Amino acid sequence: MKFGQQLRSSIIREYQWHYIDYDGLKADLKRASGPLVASSDPTKPPRREWTEDDESRFVSKLEAELDKVHAKQQVKAMEISRRIAVSEREVQDVVGRLQDRGPGQEGPSEEEFMLLEEDLSDIIADVHDLAKFVQVNYTGFYKIIKKHDKMTGWRLKPVFDTRLKAKPFYKENYDASVVRLSKLYDLVRTRGNPAKGDTAAGASQGSFIRHTTKYWVHPDNVTELKLIILKHLPVLVFNPSKEFETQDTAITSVYFDNPDTWELYEGRLKKNEGAEAIRLRWYGGMQTETIFVERKTHREDWTGEKSVKARFSLKEKNVNAYLRGELLPKAIFEKARKEGKKSAKAIDEDERLAREIQYSILKRGYKPVCRSFYHRTAFQLPADARVRISLDTELTMIREDNLDGVRRSGDNWRRMDIGIDYPFSQLPPGDIVRFPYAILEVKLQTQLGQEPPEWVRQLTSSHLVEAVPKFSKFIHGVATLFPTRIHLLPYWMPQMDVDIRKPPTHDFGIKRTEQSATTSISDDDDEEEEEDSDMEQEKTTPPREGETSAAAAAAAAGARNGRALPAGADIEDQTIDRPTAPGPGDGTYLYDSDDEDLSDSDRLAEARRVGPWAYYTTLASTKARAAGRTTLHVLKWLVPRPRSTPMPRNARLESLLGTGEIQTRRFKAPRGKRIHVPVRVEPKVYFAAERTFLGWLEYSIYISTIAVTLLNFGSRAKDETSSSSISVSLSHRKVSFIAAAAFTVLAILSLMYAVVVYLYRSQAIRERRVARYYDKWGPSALCFALLVAVGLNFGLEGRKRGVW
């Protein structure tokens, strides 16, 4: 969809006079006043040159549009802040009256709570609308500036970046509003009785088991997703007694591995039974004293166990001594035993874990290799882990090693030249990778056979998320930060070049009690200029602080990932331009390039306006392509081949993928690397391969038995015949021998084929390769060979008996 059309279709009535005048700015670009200049393309008419007066006129109008958008954003943001403050006072008043009522006194009515809930829902819708307003306007400025630079040849983007920083309407952070709204909505939803419990980070999380699914979320959808979730689950605030700060949501982890063998990376990537990941994690800034030492262990489903994360806490000043083996686990927990705050059993388990991790680090040579940083917004009822949803934004991977001679962390367990100052613009491009999406984790603890809540199922099947099973920050960080050392890549790496935004598939999202009508600022739907038809898909998410200084880092990160940036590509925030892969349905993504592919009729109409020669040339090429497509379809229909049976699509599949045709894409790994696709291997897989092999042996034995029977019976028949009559011909005596030989060769070939296939499948299963485990030709070849052997025996025997 063109951006101009998308803008007109998404306008909210309240903001309709405050959007960027995209059509007016686009029309202004076509009103150049300079002398005529011949076009390099002979099929296009000459155009007027863009002059300094034209540039001044355009910049003045662009400045006016920026002032208009910025003023509206500031006014609306202050209005929302005031409305939240008023709602806080009203909710506290109602809840206070509920808690202070005496015996026999009536508390607040249900109607009061319903009115408060409607008011909060309206504020949530306002935050959602403002976020969409900011996003679409930033997209409009980004696109019109790029169109200006391309059409006029004047470079406006570097100058206008400074103006945007002076009026940063796109840098509004809604996290504080989300936390405040979540607390109020939870109070009203529970009628003044919110769930209570221990919410301290790491305070009560020792060893726990969850069923986790992971999704990617495009930055355009992050705010909307948060607002949807807070209406069902409150934001998990670790310290409710203090004012919310951005650093409260920061989480940093340092991952360990052996830089020579990368055994932890490969084990986690291949999902080997018992594969481990060892990391040191802390919450908040670098001044945090408590460090959590964690070990994640993968368990296969067939073992009957679940993957487990176990951890214990350690003081930051003791980390280096612990990793070097100078501080023993017994000394770490000596103080805890004396204080008696934890049970002796829990302390023993922590001590055993500390001993095992320390032994693995010293024995196997594990060292810090990669750091992950992100801001986490967690949604969960306190002390209730049945449903926990976390959203990680600003995900960044940073090198921690000293492999290439650069002293990053030195002898310390972590590097100290950075903290939580995202986007870490002080780091060189080779040390950092900024992940372009947010990570949504849905963690459920449900009983056997119990379904997750309906709203969770709707959320995970909506257009707001993209499922990426088994995604790992550790695996992605190592794969992207060490491109020359890692040759086995995770399966999601090719998907990084695909735009994950999708059109809405079902009615799900933020709604008002009375929906705000959308309107259109213009009914004019002009076609864009043809010279813009090659504009690629752009990143249109508003950047955060420090994005410009990180442009070179993002560009280098994209080059390391094997994605060469197009000439003149714009870097915005942590994301590079991601051109979509060619294929049907590419135009369904939001904010796609301004031009669409012309149909044959449009192309002919355009050629008719150019001239007769262009028209007849275009007509001939159009007819030739149509004839070629028809011929190809006919040949495909005539060639005999297996054809799939069309199956009706169920309602769940339609809700996930829509009613259109499902397209698949084939991805190819970069040169010298392989894409690893997870393969589930259970003991029954080995037994199935053995049963198949034994089945082939069984049929081979049957065939060989037939051959032996024919051979032995034919020899006795020939001896009896020779004593009674000498007139039997040589060909008749060889009938049984020829038939027996045919069955013998068939039995030997089937035995050899069964052995080769069994050895191939066994090796593929052991190596967890995505091999072809089904047999496409073997059974068909066996049936055909049996038909030939039986036919040969029948024909020779009939000739012997004189039937023909």
**Binding annotation for 1D-myo-inositol hexakisphosphate:** 1, 3-5, 22, 26, 30, 147
- Tell the burial category of 666 from Cβ atoms under 10 Å away from its Cβ (0-12, 13-18, 19+): exposed
CA–CA dist 246, 250 (Å, integer): 7
Name residues whose C-beta falls within 8 Å of residue 556's C-beta, 6 or more positions apart in sequence.
Answer: 429, 430
Catalytic residue list contains 473: yes
Cis, bond preceding 423 (omega within 30 deg of 0)? yes
DSSP collapsed to 3 states, 459-509: HHCCCCCEECCCCCHHHHHHHHHCCCCCCEEECCHHHHHCCCCCCCCCCCC
Number of C-beta neighbours around residue 40 at 10 A: 6
- Nearest partner of 225 among 452, 381, 389, judged by Cα: 389
CA–CA dist 123, 144 (Å, integer): 31
Name residues whose C-beta falls within 8 Å of residue 420's C-beta, 6 or more positions apart in sequence.
Answer: 247, 250, 252, 284, 285, 286, 373
Name residues whose C-beta falls within 8 Å of residue 326's C-beta, 6 or more positions apart in sequence.
Answer: none
Q: Which residues pair with 211 in a beta bridge?
A: 444
Strands 432-434 and 250-257, bridge-based pairing: unpaired
- Tell the burial category of 452 from Cβ atoms under 10 Å away from its Cβ (0-12, 13-18, 19+): middle
CA–CA dist 194, 785 (Å, integer): 75
CB 316 within 8 A of CB 176: no
Where is the binding site, in residues?
A: 1, 3-5, 22, 26, 30, 147
Catalytic pick among 2, 146, 214, 473: 473
With vertex at residue 646, the alpha carbon angle to CA 643 and CA 651, rounded to the nearest 5 degrees, is: 155
Instruction: Print burial letters for 453-475: b (CB count within 10 Å at least 16), e (below 16).
Output: eeebeebbbbbbbbebebbbbbb
Catalytic residue set: 473
